[in-house]
Amino acid sequence: MNSYKIAAIPGDGIGKEVIAAGVEVLHALAARDGSFRLDVETFDWGSDYYKAHGVMMPENGRETLKGFDAIYFGAVGAPDVPDHVTLWGLRLAICQPFDQYANVRPTRILPGIEGPLRNVAARDLDWVIVRENSEGEYAGQGGRSHRGLPEEVATEVSIFTRAGVTRIMRYAFRLAQSRPRKLLTVVTKSNAQRHGMVMWDEIAAEVARDFPDVTWDKMLVDAMTMRMTLKPQSLDTIVATNLHADILSDLAAALAGSLGIAPTANLNPERNFPSMFEPIHGSAFDITGKGIANPVGTFWTATMMLEHLGEKPAAERLMRAIERATADPSLHTPDLGGQATTRQVTDAVIAAIHGDNA
Ligand code: IPM
Ligand code: MG
CA 56 to chain centre: 20
pTM listed for this prediction: 0.95
b/e for 204-229, b at 16 or more Cβ within 10 A? beebbeebeebebeebbbeebeebbe
Query: Residue 250 catalytic?
Result: yes
Cα-to-centroid distance, 250 and ligand 2 (Å): 6
Catalytic residue of the set 48, 250, 328, 347? 250
Rg of the chain in Å (alpha carbons): 20
Considering the domain delimited by 116-255, tell me its CATH architecture.
3-Layer(aba) Sandwich (3.40)
Q: What is the pLDDT of residue 341?
A: 98
Question: Nearest CA to 262 among 230, 295, 229, 222?
Answer: 295
Q: Cα angle at 339 between 334 and 344, to 5 degrees?
A: 105
Most informative mutation of 91, 129, 130, 242 for ligand 1 (most atoms within 8 A of CB): 91
Query: Domain extents for the chain?
Result: 1-101+261-358, 116-255
Query: Residue 138 catalytic?
Result: yes
Residues with CB under 6 A from ligand 1: 87, 246, 280, 282
Catalytic residue of the set 39, 44, 217, 222? 222
* CATH fold of 1-101+261-358: Isopropylmalate Dehydrogenase (3.40.718)
pLDDT digits (tens, 9 = 90+) for 316-340: 999 999 999 999 999 999 999 999 9
Exposed, middle or buried: residue 113 (CB in 10 Å: 0-12, 13-18, 19+)?
A: buried
Question: Nearest CA to 82 among 51, 43, 45?
Answer: 51
How much is the mean pLDDT over the chain?
96
Cα-to-centroid distance, 334 and ligand 2 (Å): 21
Same fold flag, 1-101+261-358 and 116-255: yes
pLDDT band at 173 (very low <50, low <70, confident <90, very high): very high
Q: What is the DSSP letter of 91?
A: I
Ligand nearest to the CA of 133: 1
pLDDT band at 1 (very low <50, low <70, confident <90, very high): confident
Q: What is the DSSP letter of 200?
A: H
Q: How far apart are CA 117 and CA 233, in angstroms?
A: 12
pLDDT digits (tens, 9 = 90+) for 250-295: 999 999 999 999 999 999 999 999 999 999 999 999 999 999 999 9
Q: How far apart are CA 348 and CA 322, in angstroms?
A: 9
Query: Residue 39 catalytic?
Result: no
